[in-house]
Amino acid sequence: MREFLLFAALFVLATVAVGLLRLLYGPAGTDRVMSAQLLGTGGIAVLLLLGAADEMPSSIDVALTLAVLAAFVSAAFVKAATQTEETTRGDETEA
Amino acid sequence: MGDMFDVVLAVLVVAVAVWTIGVRDSFASVVGFVAYGLLLALVWVRIVAPDVALTEAAIGSGLTGGLLVSAATRMQRAERSSATPQPGPLLRLSAIGLCVVVAAALAVVVLTLPNPPPTLAPVAAASLPAIGLDNPVAAVLIAYRAVDTLLEVVVLVLATVAVWSLAPDRLWGGAPGQRANLDPGGPLTLLARCLLPLGIVIGLYIFWMGSQAPGGEFQASAILGAMWILAMTAGLVDAPPTSRQWLRALLVLGPIVFLIIGFAGFAMAGGFLAYPVEFAKPIVLTIEAVLMLSIAAMLGLLVAGPPRRRKQR
Amino acid sequence: MSFARDILTVCAVLAGVFFFLAGTVGLLRFPDSLSRLHALTKADNLGLGLIAIGLIMHAESIPSALKLVAVWLLALLASATVPQLITRTMPPAVPPA
């Protein structure tokens, strides 16, 4: 069972790696932002499988943290990517 | 099978690192940096360091990614407006040489460590019952090397003030960032509204677990800070002006309580930051709780950036 | 009983890994950003859910199993909202007619 779970983790890691290549190469900004999403979901899957294989229950906590922060990082990336497209209105406004 | 996984992971880490350095666009390099941080968290899990993996995923990758991406967008505007001089070949070669020397020195030190390496882990674990903690990492941070933690928190406060000082004089004390427009039916609002309570609960859970299992106040404050930033980004709350007294009090609350307990250690147990054995666990929990609140506020303000709105009279 | 549990875990994890593979194939082969985004978020999320189901049966305790469910629900939330966020705020590149 342990070998099988490690093999599954390796497979998902390889899948994430190949997907990452595509997204990092992809010319559109959308592609780059998607990579955060891919790494989040794939990383969580790898963490859960590793935790079950090596009997480290704290991996689930790491996966939980990763899930929360991957969503945050994706939102931050989208916000930043949209700000590069707009022209700036100037750096100060009345509060 | 485990070795094969480690090899693939190591190759991936190096490949992403090389790509991050080599790519021209700053936004793309920030994406690469976040990817690198996430893969590094996997490395930490593989070498059985879950506390470090938690910190890497929360602060090293998540919050720093949010900070860098807003910096990258501001830099892109500046880069487009004026031509910045590129570093010359001599400077680049010196930088490469210095990096190679440092990496080689690290490799030599790590590879020539005696096997088994000298370790203080048994000594650290032996004193755990006296403090009432089960997590040796938490014990090192708050009890054995509490001075280091105190200094780190003070450095964080200074960093926040330094970020504020990046604003022009006329904007000092104003609110960071632009007011985000609240889009009531939009996906960002939905994400913020659903994720916020979950994130807060998870943050407090990680904080609570820190005394027995991997976790603690630093990772928890990163999660809480990220939730605050998400709320500000979605427009659910407005960034407070940095001149507000409650905000400044919240920032220094953690270090001040830590200092008071530190000096009280002279009276109670004979040294700076010494804890009396009967009260060790409540003291540690108090320090961790106030530190969590302060650091969450500091991290949120660090990512929000310098004030960009004029203070209202 | 334990053998049946192992079989279920193996089947669920294999199915999950298959969906991850399918998502990546879609990511590589689909022609434009929007369909790539669809492949990424829908297939990967389903793969994660199946892996979580497979691992719940091998969980060490009830709190661990509940945490696995919580991780999957969070991933569901992110997968549902982030693509909408991306497509509504970042107009996709118009493919040449």
β-bridge mates for residue B307, sequence order: B176
Residue B13 carries which side chain, given as an amino acid letter?
V
* Mean pLDDT of the C57-71 span: 89
The most confident of the ranges B76-80, B196-200, B262-266, C77-81 is B196-200
β-bridge mates for residue B301, sequence order: none
Contact C67 A52 (CB under 8 A): no
pLDDT tens sequence across B193-233: 999 999 999 999 999 988 888 888 899 999 999 999 999 98
Please report the pLDDT score of residue B210 as a whole number.
87
Radius of gyration for the alpha carbons in chain B, expressed in angstroms and rounded:
22
SS3 B174: coil
Cβ B191 vs Cβ C78: under 8 Å:
yes
Contact C71 A60 (CB under 8 A): yes
Residue ranges of the domains in chain B? 1-79, 120-313
The dihedral through the CA atoms of B185, B187, B188, B194 has a sign that is positive
Q: Determine the Cα–Cα distance for residues C10 and C4; give it in Å rounded to an integer.
A: 10
pLDDT at B113 over 90: no
Residue B139 CB: number of other CB atoms within 10 A?
23
- Nearest-neighbour CA in chain B from C81: distance (Å): 5
| Set of chain B residues whose Cβ sits within 8 Å of the Cβ of C74 | 195, 198
Q: Determine the Cα–Cα distance for residues C49 and C15; give it in Å rounded to an integer.
A: 10
**Average pLDDT score, chain B:** 87
By CB atoms closer than 10 A (0-12, 13-18, 19+), residue A15 is buried
Q: What is the pLDDT confidence band of residue C91, given thresholds at 50, 70 and 90?
A: low
β-bridge mates for residue A26, sequence order: none
Closest CA to B258 of B287, B225, B221, B299: B287
- Nearest-neighbour CA in chain C from A36: distance (Å): 10
pLDDT at B269 over 80: no
State what percent of residues in chain B have pLDDT above 70: 97
Structure tokens at B133: 């903690």
* Mean pLDDT of the B60-68 span: 89
* Sites in chain A below the pLDDT cut of 50: 87-95
pLDDT tens sequence across B72-106: 887 777 766 666 677 788 898 999 999 999 999 99
The dihedral through the CA atoms of B281, B283, B289, B292 has a sign that is negative
Higher-confidence residue: A86 or C4? C4
Neighbours of chain A (3+ CB pairs under 8 A): B, C
Q: Determine the Cα–Cα distance for residues A19 and C87; give it in Å rounded to an integer.
A: 19
The most confident of the ranges B151-165, B298-312, C56-70 is B151-165
Q: What's the whole-model pTM score?
A: 0.89
Is B100 touching C (CB cutoff 8 A)? Answer: no
DSSP B275: -
